[in-house]
Structure 1
Amino acid sequence: MYRRLITIILALAAMCGGAGAQNKQAKISYVAYSNIDKYITIDTAIVRVWYALNALDINDENSYIDWQILEVGSHSTKYYSYFVWESDSLQTVDNRTNRSGRFSSSLLPRGRNGHGNWNELQYHVLIAEKGKIRTYNRERLREYEGYYDEPYPDQQWTLTQDTATVSGYHCQKATCHFHGRDFEAWFTPEVPIKYGPWKFGGLPGLIVKVYDTAHLYTFECTNVERINKPIVRSKYSRRRPIKREKVLKFERKLNECPGRTIGAKDIEGNIITTTYPYEPLELE
């Protein structure tokens, strides 16, 4: 059922021709979900920061590609997609009401690229602790699911004298080159934590906004909360170590030509070879 549903989705996308070709992400819906009943507590969050990914209107969450959350505890942080967590929660509840094993298309994650379209940044959960950041990834094919570690923080920042008010905070600008792209970040000492969205961190204050200089990816803070709630993560009992390079190579192939990558066929039995433009966040 899993691949059959993907095949149907890809076939419909191919029939639509070039519609949506300007999207950076492939026209493929994510159909697996994570059961939120199987989570474990790893820390207690004292701060929760919300980030909009590529918002058209920062005041309208429906205009975001994704809405992401940074939870900061005393020794750990977690970064994940709220839209995916919301979908997982709804699907878990749905399965509790005698629908186990069935897929509810209405529970696909929200996002501006289209209801449930594939976006790898949504399906990564990042846990930072003890000087490293571990990325747990959910992929189209199970053989590419796993986790990999990197140093954290791993950016060599250059502080500038530029200041501005961003998201209501007095901020200073910093720049770096990271994973093949040049980035500009605005951080605020008004929130004295050295973290930020995705894999960014290490500045003397919360990173409120960061973007690559080509303006393909923008993370912008929408809210900062003081909380006292557990930080939880999945048990990831089936995840095994996987090389980051292998994951990035697969995700590029998947986004550029999803049909060929997963072996999806059209209604006539031919491999779907529709291609899409794709600009990955990480170039190296």
Structure 2
Amino acid sequence: MKLKLLFILIFFSFRISAQGTIKEKFDYEVIYKLSFKLDSTLVNPESEYMMLYMGKDYSYYISRAQNFEDEIKVKGNSGSTPQNALTNFHYQILKEIKSDRLFYVHQIASDRFYFGQDKNIFNWQIETETKEIKGYKVQKAITNFAGRDYVAWFTPDVPISDGPYKFNGLPGLILEISDVENEWNFEFFGLKKLSPKQDFKLKFNQLIKTSLAELKATNLRYRKDPFTYINNPNITISPEVHQKYIESFAEMLEKENNPIELE
């Protein structure tokens, strides 16, 4: 019994230390075009390009615009944010390839939050139907996730059980996936091998650990009134102007009624 307890303590300590800093060298980069309707009343969807980086132990999902913004920060550019660094998606998803965990990292103003989640959340049904996407033979699979029914197309030619957003668990890379209402549609744009490999590092001690429910509440508080959340003494506005901003933020939030996860 003591030996078993010691093993549990050692394993638990290893998991904590392993989450202190994550380092990876990404071998591959996948680009998806995401067409989406955050506002369900829109006739034509908006679109952004999303990136999936894959290495030996981890994969990393981020919007291309946010990735571009991070590159600017690294280079020390403190000027205004260029148009191609603007994004609707201020989060990243890090999947552990050899385990059942993923980490969801979300930036709110200058704060970065994270929570862990089981990545084995998809009950896939693989169909016999096949087709071709940009030279890759793909096979159909269906699933339900967070209130939506999805159709995915994966390729065994790339034997990596991964895909955009949180999607994973198929015997091949997901090249295309869309909900049946076609409100969230990931379309394969390109895959390339990185040479040299791309270095990646994530330090958990620079993030704030939270839960999904707490993160939603914090993000809503920020989106309703960014000025109060940031609480920067160098930013001063009159109560009248502040109220006008709050009203415009409320109107904007009302239109964001169709997130990718409905449940």
TM-score bin, normalised by smaller chain: 0.7 to 0.9
Q: What is the correspondence of 1:18-167 to structure 2 with a 5 Å cutoff? A: 42-54=23-35, 65-95=47-77, 102=78, 104-107=79-82, 109-110=84-85, 116=86, 119=88, 121=89, 123-129=90-96, 130-140=99-109, 142=111, 145-167=112-134
In structure 2, the residue matched to 1:273 is 247
The structural deviation recorded for 1:82 is 2.2
Between structures 1 and 2, the one with greater helix share: 2
Q: 2: distance between equivalents of 1:73 and 1:141?
A: 28
Deviations 1:218-265 (A, max 9, x none): 1122111123514403435331221112223444666xxx34465497
Which secondary structure does the structure 2 equivalent of 1:215 belong to? coil
**Contact 2:154–2:175 (Cα < 8 Å) also in 1:** yes
Amino acid in structure 2 at the alignment position of 1:172: Q
- Tell me, yes or no, if structure 1 residue 206 matches structure 2 residue 188: no
* Corresponding residue number in structure 1 for 2:157: 190
Asked whether the equivalents of residues 61 and 165 of structure 2 are also in contact (C-alpha less than 8 Å), the reply is yes
Paired residues of 1:146 and 1:241 also in contact (CA < 8 A): yes
* Alpha-carbon distance change, 167 to 84 in structure 1, aligned in 2, over 3 angstroms: same
Looking at structure 2, the residues matched to 251 and 177 of structure 1 have their Cα atoms a distance apart, in angstroms, of 26
Larger strand fraction of residues? 2
Do 2:22 and 2:203's aligned partners in 1 also have CA atoms closer than 8 Å? no
Q: Which residue of 2 aligns with 1:27?
A: none
Q: TM-score normalised to the size of structure 2?
A: 0.72
* Shift in CA distance, 141/159, structure 1 to aligned 2, threshold 3 Å: same
Are the structure 2 counterparts of residues 153 and 161 from structure 1 closer, same or farther at C-alpha, using a change threshold of 3 Å?
A: same
| Amino acid of the structure 2 residue aligned with 1:137 | H
SS in structure 1 at match of 2:92:
strand
Aligned-pair CA distance for 1:166: 2.2
Q: What does the per-residue CA deviation read over 1:167-220, in whole Å, with 9 as the maximum and x for residues that have no partner?
A: 332211111111222111111112111111111111111100111222221112
Distance 1:226 1:210, change over 3 A: same
Structure 1 segments (4+ residues) deviating >6 Å: 264-267
- One-letter amino acid matched to 2:165: W
Give the fraction of aligned pairs with identical amino acids, expressed as a percent: 24
In 2: Cα distance, 1:177 partner to 1:194 partner:
18
Q: 1:65 to 1:207 in 2, by over 3 A?
A: same
Report the CA distance shift for 1:231/1:93 in structure 2 as closer, same or farther (over 3 A): closer
Please say if residues 163 and 173 of structure 1, whose CA atoms lie closer than 8 Å, have aligned partners that are also in contact: yes
**Measured at CA, do residues 167 and 154 of structure 1 come closer, stay the same or move farther in structure 2, by a change above 3 Å?**
farther
> Matches of 2:210 and 2:75 in 1, distance apart?
31
**5+ residue gaps in structure 1?**
1-39, 56-62, 96-101, 111-115
**DSSP-derived class of the 2:57 partner:** coil
Which residues of structure 2 form unaligned runs of 5+? 1-20, 37-44, 230-236
- Correspondence list, 1:225-236, <5 A: 225-228=192-195, 229-236=197-204
Question: What is the root-mean-square deviation in Å for CA atoms of aligned residues?
Answer: 2.9
Say whether the 8 Å CA contact 1:69–1:81 is kept in structure 2: yes
